[in-house]
């Protein structure tokens, strides 16, 4: 969707009320679409799907993001919790910034173990988003 020449970011996350104890070792499947602008992360055993549609994100991820394993999962989870909370706060306020609207709420439950890959991709999306749109979602320094 285009508004005022700026592409709108859509993040759609479906989380179930799955127990973390029996499914914590499940892995995510990452699927890049042919357009290169959509990244899909899914895990059927936890019944969630993350779809990131943002022009340039996949290319940025491949060329700028720190490699997998650079950050601990605990680090990624802690950053994601803060950034999701701020994102949802802006969503709830209907906040607009630089023609960007926080269109969808992110249902990220800190009691669910989503695994490293999901947290890594969400973390890097937030880094990309903040750098690209000159938005700050918290007190942390933002760098790739």
Between CA 85 and CA 7 the distance in angstroms is 23
Q: How far apart (Å, rounded) are the C-alpha atoms in residues 15 and 115?
A: 13
131 pLDDT higher than 70: yes
Please give the residue that has the higher pLDDT: either 69 or 12: 69
For residue 22, give every residue at least 6 positions away whose Cβ sits within 8 Å of its Cβ, in sequence order, or none: none
**What pLDDT does 71 receive?**
96
Whether 129 contacts 144, CB under 8 Å: no
Query: How high is the pLDDT of residue 14?
Result: 40
Among 51-65, 66-80, 91-105, 122-136, whose mean pLDDT is lowest?
91-105
Report how far residue 72's alpha carbon sits from residue 118's, in angstroms, rounded to the nearest whole number.
13
**How sure is the predictor about 46, in pLDDT bands with cuts at 50, 70 and 90?**
low
118 or 36, which is more confident? Answer: 118
Is the model's pLDDT at 110 over the cut of 70? yes
Pair type for strands 48-53 and 2-3: unpaired
Q: Tell me which of 57-66, 115-124, 133-142 is least confident.
A: 133-142
Residue 32 or 40, more confident: 40
| Torsion angle, alpha carbons of 75, 49, 38, 32, to 10 | 90
């Amino acid at each position: 969707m285009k508004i005022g020449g700026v592409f709108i970011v859509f993040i759609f996350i479906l989380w179930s009320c799955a127990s973390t104890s029996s499914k914590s070792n499940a892995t995510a499947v990452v699927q890049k679409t042919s357009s290169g602008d959509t990244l899909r992360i899914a895990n059927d055993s936890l019944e969630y799907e993350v779809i990131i549609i943002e022009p340039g994100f996949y290319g940025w991820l491949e060329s700028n993001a720190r490699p997998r394993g650079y950050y601990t999962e605990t680090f990624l989870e802690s950053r994601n919790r803060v950034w999701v909370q701020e994102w949802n706060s802006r969503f709830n306020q209907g906040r607009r910034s630089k023609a960007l609207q926080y269109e969808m709420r992110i249902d990220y439950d800190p009691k669910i173990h989503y695994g490293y890959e999901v947290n890594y991709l969400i973390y890097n999306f937030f880094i990309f988003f903040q750098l690209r749109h000159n938005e700050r979602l918290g007190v942390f320094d933002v760098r790739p």
